[in-house]
Structure 1
Amino acid sequence: MLRGLFTFLLLALLTAPAFAKLYRWVDETGRVQYSDKPPMTAPTSGVSELNKSGMVKATPVPVLSKEEKEKIQNEQALQKEQQRRDRALLQSFSRPEEIDLIRDRRIGMIQSATIANSMRMQAASQRKTRLETQLARMKKSKRSIPPDLEAELAAINKEIVDIDTDNKTKNDDIDNVKRRAEEDKKRLLELKSAISK
C-alpha cells in the first residue's frame, strides 16, 4: 500500500503543471488524502502543502474548536489583566505598608455604613415593637385592624430583612478587601524581588 501511495504521489507530481500545488490532510475517517485542491471543509488536523519532492512544505496549523479558541482568548485576557494589575501595583505602591493604609481606609468606609445600618435597625425595631403592641391591643379588644397598619408592619419587617442582608454583604466586602490587600502585598513583593534581581 505504501508503494502504491508513493507511486500515486510521484505520478501526481510528474503530471501536474509546474505551478500546481499538492495538498495532504487526514480526513474524518483517519485516512490520508492528497489533492491539487485543499479540502472544502478544514479538517481538524490541518492541511499540509507539499513541495515538488512530495515533502511537507508548510506544516499544518491545527484547526481549533470553538471551545479551544474561547479558552485561549480567556487565558490571553487573564494574562493581559494580570499585566495591567502588576503595572498599577508598581506605579501605585512602593511599600506593602501603603497597601495596608488603603485597606484600612476602605474598611473604615464600609464600617461607617454598617454603623448607619445599626441605627436604622434600632429605629425599625422600635417602630415594629410599637406597631405589634398596638395590633395586639386591637385584637384583644376585638376591634378591626386597619389594612394600613398591617401594610406598615409588613414594610418594617422587609426593611429589617433588607438591613440585615446589607450588613452581611458589607461583612463579606470587608473580608474581600482584606483578602485582596494580602494578595496585592504578596504580589508587590514578588514584583519588587524580580526587578531587583
Structure 2
Amino acid sequence: MDRNDFWVFGYGSLMWNPGFEVEESRPARLHGFRRALCVRSWVHRGTPDQPGLVLGLDRGGSCWGMAFRVAPERRNAVLDYLRERELVTHVYKERTLPVTLLDGVRAPALAYVIDRAHHQYAGALSVEEAAVTVSTARGKSGPNTEYVANTLAHLREMGIRDHWLEEVGRTVERLTCGG
C-alpha cells in the first residue's frame, strides 16, 4: 500500500452513495468509534419541535464500514465535495483515523466523527430512547423510520451487521406497528 494513498471511511449513506469516483472500495473496520443515531435532525428527518435522529460516529466500540481509495489527482475535489456534504452545520469533525481493511492492512482514512460539544449531539441513547424518537419524527426528506429502515437494508445488502441499530429497527417496528 502506498503511504500517499487517500482513503475515505464511510459508515452510513456514504457507503452506498459516496457521490465521488473511487479507485477501489474495501470493507474496513474503525476501532474506537461506533455507528450511532446520535445526531439530532431538525430538517431532513425531523423538525425543531420534534427532532429526528441520523447517524454519526461516536466514541467507543468499533464500526464496520467501507474504505474508498481516491485517485491522487481527485483528492482536492473529493475533499471539497465531502466538506460541503458533511460539514453543513459542523456537527461532525473531520479526522484522519486508522482503519483496518478486510485483509488486515491498516490505512489512514478520512472520517467524520460527531462533535460531542455541538448542540445537535443527542448523546448515547438507549435502544428504547432512539426508537421512540425515530418512530415519531418526520422532516423534509420523509419519516425518520424510513431513514433507519433504508440504512438497515443497505447494511444487510453489504453484509454488515450492526446489532444496536438492528435492535432500534425492531423496536421502531414494534412501536409503529403495535407488535
The TM-score, its normalising length taken from structure 2, stands at: 0.21
The TM-score, its normalising length taken from structure 1, stands at: 0.20
Task: Indicate the structure with greater strand content.
Answer: 2
Task: Indicate the structure with greater helix content.
Answer: 1
Looking at both structures, which has the greater relative contact order when contacts are Cα pairs under 8 Å and sequence separation is at least 6?
Answer: 2
Largest Rg, 1 or 2: 1
